[in-house]
Amino acid sequence: MNRRNFVKQNLKISALAGIGGLSVYPKAISSDINILKEEKAPDQFHLKYAPHLGMFKNLAGEDPIDQLNFMADQGFTAFEDNGMKDRPIEVQEKMAATMQKRNITMGVFVAHKIYWTSPNLTNGDKTLRDEFLKEIRESVEVAKRVNAKWVTVVPGYINVRQNIQYQTANVIESLKYAAEILEPHEITMVLEPLNFRDHPGLFLSESPQAYQICKAVASPSCKILFDVYHQQIQEGNLLPNIEACWDEIGYFQVGDNPGRNEPTTGEINYHNIFKYIHQKGYKGVIGMEHGNSGEGKQGELAVIEAYKVSDNF
């Protein structure tokens, strides 16, 4: 699933959905939901897996508040929303109140405009850097409103007319300025390497590259978003690379490959990866940034079951 389409799809779903009260889910509940609710253990998962809006819309309904409550009822203790920054303030506040009430940790949202086809941070352009930093300041206010501690940053497109080392220096300089904005609020920007197949031409694509940049920025507000889906395509060797980057990883996202759907549908052994991350003592969020392999209610039930199976260690 293309990331741009993934973000747009979630925004479209949310735009169509109304915001209701703080109900658990609609009164016209299906028998599937009743079964799920009855069988759920209080602490169903070892890790903080974070669904997104739309992932359970057939079981929970279109209302984002009902979807959040449904996630909590199934044992999910985190949530992420790429498009949170673009939602109306009253919607952000209602979602934040629901997450606080249901003990859901807010994961990432995208902090700035991503330049998918032209350079911004890589070329050192001051105007574009100032635009980026302005958006980071705006994201601080959103993060405080929704109790978010992580925001996603993608340094953008490569500058084909400039040596990669100069581009790296330009990116590091911009991120140092951003870290100065974020540090007082204890908010962390997580840099996401994206694979060459889905996103050709982007500057940041590999975990060692992200590790080098985070070491150079040298701030607790600049860490790696290790998306297992992207890194399986880009570099493989997943557990050794996670180990090598461990002290600079601030956040994980997942999706199986091929297909970018839930665990157990592709080639990645998420049971072993989740077990490894848990044994390392990871307490952060694991974003479920993927689609559903099946359609309708059964497809959504399959997602929940996939996480039960993968988390069974």
How many angstroms separate the CA atoms of 36 and 70, rounded? 10
* Residue 242 vs residues 226, 252, 293: alpha-carbon distances, Å: 8, 10, 26
| Torsion angle, alpha carbons of 115, 118, 120, 121, to 10 | 90
Is 192 labeled as catalytic in the residue annotation? yes
Say if CB 196 and CB 231 are below 8 A apart.
Answer: no
Which one, of 108, 71, 76, lies nearest residue 253 by Cα? 108
- Looking only at the bridges linking them, the beta strands covering 222-227 and 150-153 are unpaired
Question: Locate tokens 């999910």: which residue?
Answer: 76
How many C-beta atoms lie closer than 10 Å to residue 98's C-beta? Answer: 23
User: Which residues are within 8 A (CB) of 169 and not within 5 positions of it... i.e. 6 or more apart?
Assistant: none
DSSP string of 234-300?
HT--HHHHHHHHGGGEEEEE---TTTS-STTSSS--HHHHHHHHHHTT--SEEE--S--SS-HHHHH
How many C-beta atoms lie closer than 10 Å to residue 94's C-beta? Answer: 19
Question: Locate tokens 């991350």: which residue?
Answer: 277
Choosing from 248, 262, 289, 300, the catalytic residue is 289
Choosing from 80, 192, 248, 300, the catalytic residue is 192
Under DSSP, the state recorded for 104 is: P
Q: Which residues are annotated as catalytic?
A: 192, 289
